[in-house]
Amino acid sequence: MKLNQLTKSRLLNTQLKNTLGYLANGGITPIYEDCTHFKPFFLVVARKHYSITRKSYPALNMTELKALLKINQQQYSDVKPLVEIKPNKEIDGFDVTTIVFDQECAALATGSKVLIPETAILSKQSTAEKQLFELTTPQGVLFFSRSGTSTHSAYCKGLIQNIAAYKHSIGLADDIEPTIISQPAYFQFLAEQFNALAIADLAKVSVFNYQHKIKSTQLHALYWGPLISVTLYFAVMAGWQWLSINATKQAIENQADNANQLLSQKQQLDDLNNKVTLLETQVKQNPAVFSDWDIVHSALSTGMLIDKFSSRQGVITLSGESKSANTTIAAIAKLSQVDSAIFKSGVRKYRGSEKFEIEITLHTEVPAGAKANG
The helix/strand/coil state of 368 is coil
Task: Count the neighbouring beta carbons within 10 Å of the beta carbon of residue 114.
Answer: 20
Select, from the ranges 12-16, 41-45, 284-288, the one with the highest average predicted confidence (pLDDT).
41-45
61 located within any domain: yes
Note whether 33 and 91 are same-domain residues. Answer: yes
Confidence of residue 162 (pLDDT cuts 50, 70, 90): very high
pTM score above 0.75:
no
pLDDT digits (tens, 9 = 90+) for 264-311: 888 888 888 888 888 777 766 654 455 688 899 999 999 999 999 998
pLDDT at position 303 is 92
Nearest Cα residue to 253 out of 59, 58, 63, 56: 63
Note whether 223 and 299 are same-domain residues. Answer: no
80 located within any domain: yes
Q: Is the pLDDT of residue 4 over 80?
A: no
Residue 48 is given by DSSP the state G
Report yes or no: 198 and 1 within 8 Å, Cβ to Cβ: yes
Report yes or no: 116 and 45 within 8 Å, Cβ to Cβ: yes
Residue 313 gets the label, from left (phi > 0), alpha (psi -120 to 50) or beta, of: left
Overall number of domains in the chain:
2
143 located within any domain: no
Q: Is the pLDDT of residue 371 over 50?
A: no
pLDDT at position 333 is 92
Note whether 183 and 59 are same-domain residues. Answer: yes
Report yes or no: 126 and 13 within 8 Å, Cβ to Cβ: no
Which domain range does residue 345 map to? 287-362
pLDDT at position 11 is 85
Distance, in Å, from the CA atom of 310 to the CA atom of 288, rounded to the nearest integer, reads: 18
Note whether 224 and 326 are same-domain residues. Answer: no
pLDDT at position 240 is 86
206 located within any domain: yes
Note whether 68 and 193 are same-domain residues. Answer: yes
Note whether 60 and 187 are same-domain residues. Answer: yes
pLDDT digits (tens, 9 = 90+) for 324-369: 999 999 999 999 899 999 998 889 988 888 999 999 999 876 444 4
Q: Is the pLDDT of residue 188 over 60?
A: yes
Residue where a domain stops, chosen among 190, 221, 249: 249
Higher per-residue pLDDT: 180 or 278: 180
313: domain CATH number is: 3.30.1360.100
142 located within any domain: no
91 located within any domain: yes
Note whether 195 and 333 are same-domain residues. Answer: no
Note whether 243 and 349 are same-domain residues. Answer: no
Distance, in Å, from the CA atom of 121 to the CA atom of 134, rounded to the nearest integer, reads: 15
Q: Which amino acid is at 228?
A: I
Nearest Cα residue to 92 out of 62, 54, 53, 55: 62
Residue where a domain stops, chosen among 249, 279, 305: 249
Note whether 226 and 300 are same-domain residues. Answer: no
Q: Which amino acid is at 286?
A: N
281 located within any domain: no
Nearest Cα residue to 145 out of 137, 135, 136: 135
Task: Classify residue 16 by burial, with Cβ atoms within 10 Å: 0-12, 13-18, 19+.
Answer: buried
Residue 58 is given by DSSP the state T
Q: Who contacts 289 (Cβ-Cβ below 8 Å, separation ≥6)?
A: none
For the chain, give the percent of residues with pLDDT over 70.
89
Note whether 194 and 318 are same-domain residues. Answer: no
Note whether 225 and 298 are same-domain residues. Answer: no
Q: Which amino acid is at 66?
A: K
What separation in angstroms does the CA of 359 have from each of 245, 325, 338, 342, 364?
Answer: 54, 13, 11, 5, 16
Q: Is the pLDDT of residue 231 over 90?
A: no
144 located within any domain: no
Report yes or no: 283 and 296 within 8 Å, Cβ to Cβ: yes
Report yes or no: 315 and 285 within 8 Å, Cβ to Cβ: no
Note whether 339 and 192 are same-domain residues. Answer: no
Pairing of strands 179-181, 130-137: parallel
